[in-house]
């Protein structure tokens, strides 16, 4: 049991050091992620708007071809008016001419709307680009700052992480589950010791009888106030020495 408790305290000490390295990065990791999300969002916005703009251009080109075709038919139908032999043929041609005129007007109106849409989208895209460039520059600076901090500590962090893996492999699964649960709930500190008769985690007094039991190092105890795992000063002093 002594070794079981000692390993848990060793794990806490290693995690404390890793947390300190993490704190050196400050809010930079979150800032970089946030900026990356915003940059990607603006890029996607530009891509979507440009796709819509190109779609409107293609549709206008299709409409122009259809208008040319309809106008050619109009010319042909109007020429045929002089060759009709009866009112039935005349009515049929005029009806076709009127239909074509309606279609041409409809397509021309649609093209006007598409032209306005294309122009509006182009303006929106151009208004987004400066914001995108500004965010990209800010991201570049913060990413470089973060990279510098990580690089300055990467050897120490790798060494601590490797050591942590060794210690973790020695921890019993139930103990590790409890450790991680408490660590998450208590802002990183899952294991505390006795200092001046109090829990070093919450500073609440530990009853004398419980202190005596903890000093025996033969059982896993939890602080009655904060729920952290408690180890004896014998163990903490041995690890911190």
Give domain status of residue 3, yes or no: no
Is it the case that residue 214 has pLDDT exceeding 90?
Answer: yes
Contact 156, 149 (CB under 8 A): no
Give domain status of residue 209, yes or no: yes
- Do 32 and 140 fall within a single domain? yes
pLDDT in tens, 179-192: 999 999 999 999 99
- Give pLDDT, residue 241: 65
Is it the case that residue 142 has pLDDT exceeding 80?
Answer: yes
- Give pLDDT, residue 28: 95
CA distance 9 to 160: 15
Percent of the chain at pLDDT exceeding 90: 92
Give domain status of residue 14, yes or no: no
Is it the case that residue 120 has pLDDT exceeding 80?
Answer: yes
- Do 97 and 209 fall within a single domain? no
Contact 191, 217 (CB under 8 A): no
- Give pLDDT, residue 239: 86
Is it the case that residue 163 has pLDDT exceeding 80?
Answer: yes
Q: How confident is the model at residue 84 (pLDDT cuts 50, 70, 90)?
A: confident
- The domain tally of the chain equals 2
- Do 197 and 98 fall within a single domain? no
- Give residue 187's domain range: 173-240
CA distance 81 to 50: 46
């Amino acid at each position: 049991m002594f070794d079981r408790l000692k390993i848990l305290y060793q794990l806490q000490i290693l995690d404390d050091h890793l947390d300190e390295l993490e704190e050196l990065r400050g809010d930079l990791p979150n800032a970089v992620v946030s900026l990356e999300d915003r940059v990607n969002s603006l890029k996607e916005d530009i891509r979507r708007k440009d796709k819509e703009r190109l779609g409107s251009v293609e549709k206008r080109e299709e409409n122009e071809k259809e208008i040319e075709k309809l106008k050619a038919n109009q010319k042909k139908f109007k020429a045929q008016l002089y060759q009709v032999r009866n009112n039935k043929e005349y009515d049929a041609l005029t009806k076709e001419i009127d239909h074509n005129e309606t279609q041409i007007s409809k397509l021309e109106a649609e093209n006007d709307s598409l032209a306005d849409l294309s122009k509006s989208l182009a303006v929106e895209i151009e208004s987004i680009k400066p914001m995108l460039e500004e965010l990209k520059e800010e991201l570049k600076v913060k990413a470089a700052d973060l990279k510098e901090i990580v690089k300055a500590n990467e050897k120490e962090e790798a060494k601590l992480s490797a050591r942590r893996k060794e210690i973790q492999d020695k921890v019993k699964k139930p103990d590790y589950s409890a450790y991680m649960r408490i660590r998450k709930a208590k802002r990183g500190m899952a294991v505390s010791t006795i200092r001046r008769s109090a829990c070093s985690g919450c500073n609440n007094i530990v009853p004398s009888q419980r202190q005596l039991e903890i000093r025996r190092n033969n059982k896993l105890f939890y602080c009655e106030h904060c729920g952290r795992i408690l180890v004896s000063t014998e163990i903490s002093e041995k690890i911190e020495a």
